[in-house]
Chains A and B, each alone.
Chain A
Amino acid sequence: MAVGNAKTLTKFIVVTLGMFGFGFALVPFYYKICEVTGINSGAEQSLAKNTQVDTSRWVTLEFDASINEALPWRFKPMQRSLKAHPGQLVQVEYEVTNTSDHAIVGLAVPSYGPARAAAFFNKIECFCFTPQTLAAGESRRMPVLFVLDPAMDRDVHTVTLSYTFFDAAAKGQASGSQKGLPRG
């Protein structure tokens, strides 16, 4: 009987020590599980992921800039074109320079081609929302932040965003509502 008990005791001690080791083995095991399943990695938090991006198609975006002939400014996009998924947040920049010797207030008006894409072109940040005052010879880079709505028709493969800068004062005279704008 005593021999049997000693044998059983040995077995249980081995199990006990094994389980003590298992407690520590859970550490690498935990990190491996997290790595394999991609949980808890910190860089890729599942909550922060944008699920609205339509990765099944690309849309070519073209950027165009022009100046109303009365305005002595130079205006150009920093990039001519790029490709993006609908739903993806895109940021581009335009550069504008006042080439005259006095400060001028300008206002940019966007247009879209094809025109039916306009309803799906959601601008979040744009210099066209406010009149821009540039001092003599001043140059400025201005961002445009936008998302193409994934609901946009699938047969639209290229969208052109075109801005035209007008002299805000001249526009004001035409509409009669911008008289109060500062000048020179």
Chain B
Amino acid sequence: MSDAAHAHDDHSHGHPTGIMRWLTTTNHKDIGTMYLWFALIMLFSAGTMALLIRAELFQPGMQLTNPDFFNQLTTMHGLIMIFGAIMPAFSGFANWQVPLMLGAPDMAFPRMNNWAFWMLPVAGLMLMASFLLPGGAVAGGWTMYPPLFIQGGISYDLTILAVHIMGLSSIMGSINIATTILNMRAPGLTLMKMPLFCWTWLITAYLLIATMPVLAGAVTMLLTDRNFGTHFFNAAGGGDPVMFQHIFWFFAHPEVYILILPAFGIVSQIIPTFARKPLFGYASMVYATASIAILSFIVWAHHMFTVGMPAAAQLFFMFSTMLIAVPTGVKVFNWVATMWKGSLTFETPMLFAIAFVCLFTIGGFSGLVLAIAPVDIQLHDTYYVVAHFHYVLVSGALFSIFAGIYYWLPKWTGNMYNETLGKWHFWLSVIGMNLVFFPMHFLGLAGMPRRIPDYALQFTEFNQIATVGAFIFGFSQLLFLAVVLKTVKGGEKASSRVWEGAEGLEWTLPSPAPYHTFETAPVVK
């Protein structure tokens, strides 16, 4: 079997080697790998910015940065983590896993897949290079609100262009993934038999196709306001800056679910494997995911309770936001019910998945607190909000990515990762992460504003705890890099099934998965 797969590899002679192989590849596995490495590089770049932010906030007063550079750091940290790290990482998973899980030979549009990936490094480079431009990188917040974003220098134009490119890339990626899932499933693999990861990505792809063009429109309006004399958002010419916030959050609230739905999918693959039980309530999981996606279009203004809106609108957005807790609760209970009376083992992927369920739920609850309009007016733009979205994005999205990497890396490389190092990475990450973000709840409740490089003396202790935690969390990711590199190089050979409880088409393939797979579609009964 393994030899036959190797023969297939040789079949690709005459193809470019070295750098040209990676530039021209249309293979979903190559592209998935590139997405994941790109995401990791961006994670370390934006993570370094986060550590600079935390180092500055170790003491009140200005130590390392100046206020303008601090604002550049917070803005770029947000933009790069969202568009450069989390989204490409999920695209990497989709590229690797969707064809393997569906029994498809490759993605639906391999050439477009290649383009979609190679746009990303260009955009990433543009963002990073903007630090070197006169005036430095963008400093108006990742939300790109006018008037700041129609006033800044050249790096603002560059960032808008980078957002255009990253948006186009993710639209192309999503069309590819959705088409693959809709058209290229193995015979007998109906939609309702599909692994949940494919379901969550299908719904994510729909969200991306529906909302990313709206963001493209919004930043295009910013660009024309800046350069071509339009006044969409420029109050001096009769425009309305609040309108930008409405259009932006019409995109960005679904974007929040774009960042978490694939995480739900990954966790829904991992928990049944290590509980050695099928996923509890599969159909309800699918419907809950779809409900979350649909509801995400009618809740956007809960990000803007303080800009002024009638009480009736505040009530509408408050209740619609709270409604999302229902399908989300369904998912959390299903994961818990899957583990209930299962034969649990606690390998690293499972540890990250369980941490995901617990910590994401904390983030969900603080989200419910923020959904209450009168409370939000008090907590808006405080560290409570920072704590909330880092609980859902770090211990939510990022932890699910770690879980997924540990889970599928043996399938991708053919080697088992080092379990001891994996556990060290997990415990350092989970302790570090909670040290950073849990005290931020208290800071926010006490009124510490976000995006400010200095703070009042009474906030010092909690900020110092957060900074210590940030450095533990940040440097323990080097351990993750070491584990991945070690596994790529070698290690204990993985069996084709890898995990005792693993179910699904990808585990019928040898490890490592051959370069070409499922050229004849498997039949699913």
Stretch at the interface among A1-9, A67-75, A92-100: A1-9
Contact across chains for A27 and B109 when beta carbons are under 8 A apart: no
Could you say which residues of chain B place their CB within 8 Å of the CB of A39? 309-310
A21 to B217, CA, bound (A): 7
- Residues in B neighbouring A17, C-beta threshold 8 A: 213
Q: Which residues of A contact B213 (CB under 8 A)?
A: 16-20, 22-23
Chain A min CB distance to B245 (Å): 11
B68-113 at interface with A (beta carbon < 8 Å): 108-109
A24 to B232, CA, bound (A): 10
* CB-CB contacts below 8 Å: B140-170 with A: none
User: What is the total number of residues of chain B having a CB less than 8 Å from a CB of chain A?
Assistant: 31
Provide the residues of chain A in CB contact with B309, threshold 8 Å. Answer: 39
Q: Is A119 an interface residue (CB 8 A)?
A: no
Question: Residue-by-residue, is B187-227 near A (CB-CB < 8 Å gives 1, otherwise 0)?
Answer: 00000000000000000000001111111111011000000
Instruction: Decide yes or no whether A82 CB sits under 8 A from chain B.
Output: no
Contact A20 B310, CB 8 Å, known A15-B210, A27-B243? no
Q: Which of B215-273 contact A (CB under 8 A)?
A: 215-218, 220-221, 232, 240, 242-243, 246-247, 250
Q: Which residue of A lies closest to B112 (CB)?
A: A9
Alpha-carbon distance A22/B183, docked complex (angstroms): 27
Contact (Cβ within 8 A) B232 A27: yes
Cβ contacts under 8 Å, B218 to chain A = 23
Task: Indicate if the CB atoms of A5 and B216 lie closer than 8 Å.
Answer: no
Q: A28-48 vs B: 1/0 string, CB under 8 Å? A: 001100000101100000100
Given contacts A5-B109, A16-B171, A40-B308, contact A23 B214 (CB under 8 A): yes
Residues of B within 8 A of A20 (CB): 213-214, 216-217
Query: Does B175 have its Cβ within 8 Å of any Cβ on chain A?
Result: yes
Docked Cα-Cα span, A122 to B182, in Å, equals 75
Closest-CB distance, A13 to chain B (whole angstroms): 7
A72 to B217, CA, bound (A): 76
Q: Give Cα distance in the complex from A39 to B215, angstroms.
A: 24
| Residue A12 interfacial (CB < 8 Å) | yes
B505 at the A/B interface (Cβ < 8 Å)?
no
A26 within 8 Å of B by Cβ?
Answer: yes
Point out the residues of chain A lying under 8 angstroms from B221, CB to CB.
Answer: 24, 27
Q: Shortest beta-carbon distance, B236 to chain A, in Å?
A: 14
Which residues in A have their C-beta under 8 angstroms from that of B387?
A: none
Query: When chains A and B are docked, how far (Å) is the Cα of A21 from the Cα of B220?
Result: 11
Q: Is B178 an interface residue (CB 8 A)?
A: yes
Considering residues A1, A26, A46, which has the most beta carbons from chain B within 10 angstroms of its beta carbon?
A26
Q: How far is the CB of A46 from chain B (nearest CB, A)?
A: 8
Centre residue among A13, A16, A18 by max chain B CB count within 10 A: A16
CB neighbours of B210 from chain A (8 A): 15, 19
Inter-subunit contact B216/A26 (CB<8 Å): no
Given contacts A5-B183, A23-B247, contact A12 B209 (CB under 8 A): yes
CA distance A100 to B240 in the complex (A): 61
**Is the beta-carbon distance between B246 and A26 smaller than 8 angstroms?**
yes
Contacts of B175 in A (CB 8 A): 9, 12-13, 16
Which residues in B have their C-beta under 8 angstroms from that of A1?
183-184
Query: Given the complex, which residues of A lie within 8 Å of B243, measured CB to CB?
Result: 26-27, 30
Does the CB pair B183–A4 fall under 8 Å?
yes
B361 touches A (CB below 8 Å): no
A79 to chain B, nearest CB (A): 39
Docked complex Cα distance between A4 and B240 (Å) = 44
User: Which residue of B has the minimal Cβ distance to A3?
Assistant: B183
Is the CB–CB distance between B246 and A30 below 8 Å? Answer: yes
Specify the chain A residue showing the minimal Cβ separation from B171. A16
Contact A9 B214 (CB under 8 A): no
A40 to B243, CA, bound (A): 11
When distances are taken between beta carbons in the complex, the residues of chain B under 8 Å from A26 are 214, 217, 243, 246-247, 250
Judge if B179 is at the interface, Cβ distance under 8 Å: yes
User: Which residues from chain B contact A23 at a C-beta distance below 8 Å?
Assistant: 213-218, 220, 247
CA distance A37 to B212 in the complex (A): 28
Contacts of B240 in A (CB 8 A): 30-31, 40
A17 to B168, CA, bound (A): 11
In this complex, what residue of B is CB-closest to A23?
B217
Interface residues of B in 301-339 (CB under 8 A from A): 308-310
Q: Which of A13, A15, A24, A27 has the most CB of B within 10 A?
A: A27
A12 and B178 contacting across the interface, CB-CB below 8 Å: yes
A contact residues around B217 at 8 Å (CB): 20-24, 26
Contact A9 B109 (CB under 8 A): yes
> Which chain B positions have C-beta within 8 A of A22?
213-214, 217
- Identity of the chain A residue whose Cβ is nearest the Cβ of B242 in the assembled complex: A40
- Nearest A-chain residue to B108, judged by Cβ: A5
For the complex, what is the distance from the CA of A67 to the CA of B182, rounded to whole Å? 95
- Which residues of A have CB within 8 Å of B247? 23, 26-27, 30
With both beta carbons as reference points, the residue of chain B lying nearest to A22 in the complex is identified as B214
A18 to B171, CA, bound (A): 13
Complex Cα distance A169/B224, Å?
73
Q: In the bound complex, how far is the Cα of B111 from the Cα of A16, in angstroms?
A: 19
CA distance A4 to B108 in the complex (A): 10
Nearest CB in chain A to that of B183: its residue? A4
A30 contacts across to B, CB distance below 8 A = 240, 243, 246-247
Q: Which residues of the partner chain B approach A9 to less than 8 Å between Cβ atoms? A: 108-109, 175, 179
- Docked Cα-Cα span, A8 to B108, in Å, equals 10
* Contact flags A67-91 to B (C-beta < 8 A → 1, else 0): 0000000000000000000000000
Q: CA–CA, A15 to B216, complex, Å?
A: 14
The 8 A CB mask of A133-156 against B (1 = contact, 0 = none) is: 000000000000000000000000
Instruction: Give chain A nearest CB distance to B8 CB in angstroms.
Output: 21
**A40 cross-chain contacts in B, Cβ below 8 A:** 240, 242, 308
Residue of A nearest to B307 (CB): A40
Contact between chains at B214 and A15 (CB < 8 Å): no
Q: Assess the B214–A12 pair: CB atoms within 8 A.
A: no
Q: List 5 A-B contacts (CB under 8 A).
A: A19-B213, A26-B217, A26-B247, A31-B240, A40-B242
Binding site for B on A (CB under 8 A): 1, 4-5, 8-9, 12-13, 15-24, 26-27, 30-31, 37, 39-40, 46
Add 12 more A-B contacts to A8-B183, A12-B178, A16-B213 (CB < 8 A).
Answer: A5-B179, A9-B109, A20-B213, A23-B216, A23-B217, A26-B243, A26-B250, A30-B240, A30-B247, A31-B240, A39-B309, A46-B310
